[in-house]
Amino acid sequence: MSNPKIEILKTEILSDNWYTLRKITYNYLKKDGHWETQSREAYDRGNGATILLYNKDSKTVILTQQFRLPTYLNGNETGMLIETCAGLLDKDNAEECIRRETEEETGYKISAVEKVFEVYMSPGSVTEIVYFFVAEYTKAMKVNEGGGVQEEQENIEVLELDFNKAYGMIASGEIKDAKTIMLLQHAKINGLI
């Protein structure tokens, strides 16, 4: 952190329960040359990775569906969300993470993965960077039923959907997850399927 227009004055931990919520007070040098003191909260949950599995021959994609409490609290009637497979990096690099998460969540042991971009998903309040990947899959790569890790209380349903149907679910509102929309659009724009 080497921005000469920022001086961190104080950092307080507001919560260190599930992840870490900090309140940061800092001075910010404005365009007019005056310093202004500001205070913001930043939620640090670590960085993550996500992947779109696609099959060119069958023109299908693998997505997941699970209960997401924050969406339920903000108007999602069932709390269920259709998403691309994803997970936190923990101590892995992004590619190791997404290979592990793919097998745990979807049951597919993938070979080649391609990183397509990385994104700050909610830069106004969350520190997380998400690394986005795509990979081809075949039925032969299925090594288990997926569904997530029991110890992590994951109850994930694996969905294999026709790509055009999945893409249409963006417009119908059935898919509302940003990372999933971004990867489906990437696949469409780049003609992956």
Look at residue 181 in the predicted model and tell me its pLDDT. 98
What is the rounded distance in angstroms from the CA atom of residue 156 to the CA atom of residue 166?
A: 18
Give the tens place of pLDDT for each residue, 50-61: 999 999 999 999
Q: Which two tokens stand for residue 142?
A: 């299925």
> What integer is the mean pLDDT of 76-99?
93
Nearest Cα neighbor of 82 from 126, 52, 58, 44 is 52
Look at residue 128 in the predicted model and tell me its pLDDT. 95
> What integer is the mean pLDDT of 147-152?
74
Burial 66-87, CB ≥16 within 10 A → b, else e: bebeebeeeeeeeeebbbbbbb
- Give pTM, 2 decimals: 0.92
Confidence tier at 91 by pLDDT (50, 70, 90): confident
Give the tens place of pLDDT for each residue, 13-46: 999 988 999 999 999 999 999 999 999 999 999 9
